[in-house]
Homo-oligomer: A and B are copies of this chain.
Amino acid sequence: MSTQEDIQEKKKRISVWIVDDNKSFCVVLSEALNRSNSITCDRYFHSSRQAIEFLETNNHPPQVILLDIKMPGTKGVDAIESIKRIAPSTNIIMLTSYDFDTDIRTSLKRGASGYLLKSSQPMDIIRAIQTVQKGGTPLDPMITQRMTDAFIAENPESDAYNLSAREREVIRWISQGMNSAEVAQQLSITYNTVETHIKNIFHKLNVSNRHAMVAKAIKERLI
């Protein structure tokens, strides 16, 4: 294989880190991942602390982190927010040996992109990494079912901000690219009212400008 092809190959591969206290699990999984031609497992860590420290001093975060939920020291669930703060664009897939509803929910709430059982086949994990890079939410079917049942009854996070229908409507048009004047015309209300709605949304979502509002609304599916 020539150097050029080699570089091209590397570019295509999805970069992945593993964070798991079980050393042999890390070795086995990283080898399996590297055998696939779409993923490179750059490195693995045996504690959240080590991974976060490396992330902070290094300016090349991976595209995906596989994060064990149950570890000595900082728990996986607690590491999510730190990781997301340092590397907002890195997708996190949680790995777990057991399945407590609360942990699943907490993880997804804090920014994890997926949730898999450690008993999954390497092929399933590879597929999950690919899925998450394309924007999907890889969840073990067992977990999906459990989540669906548990989540659907109560109100999801989406309702936590108490946005009114009108406010959501304003966000929708704003996210289409309209400015306040255009939204006003669209909704047949005055410019001032639109501005008031936006100010109220800012408070409810705890943001201070439109782009953050749009980002939060889309990411948290408020609109």
Contact = CB atoms under 8 A, between A and B. Distances in A.
Contact of A172 (B88, B144, B177, B212): B88
B89 A223 contact: yes
Contacts of A199: none
Chain A binding surface SS class: helix
A127 B156 contact: no
Contact of A176 (B130, B152, B212): B212
Given A89-B223, A214-B215, A179 B209 contact: yes
B209 A172 contact: no
Contact of A148 (B131, B151, B175): B131
Interface residues of A, number: 37
Contact of A212 (B38, B152, B177, B223): B177
Interface string A148-184: 1001100010000000000010001011110100000
A166 B209 CA distance: 22
A153 to B, nearest CB: 8
A219 B221 contact: no
A131 B144 contact: yes
Contacts of A168: 89
A110 interface: no
A24 B210 CA distance: 46
A62 B112 CA distance: 29
Interface in A119-156: 127, 130-131, 134-137, 139, 144-145, 148, 151-152, 156
B213 A215 contact: no
A135 B131 CA distance: 14
* The 3 A-B residue pairs with the shortest CB-CB distance in the complex, in nearest-first order: A177-B212, A175-B215, A210-B211
Given A88-B175, A137-B137, 20 more contacts: A88-B223, A89-B168, A89-B172, A89-B223, A127-B148, A130-B151, A134-B151, A134-B221, A136-B136, A136-B137, A174-B211, A175-B214, A175-B215, A177-B208, A177-B215, A210-B210, A211-B211, A214-B218, A215-B215, A215-B218
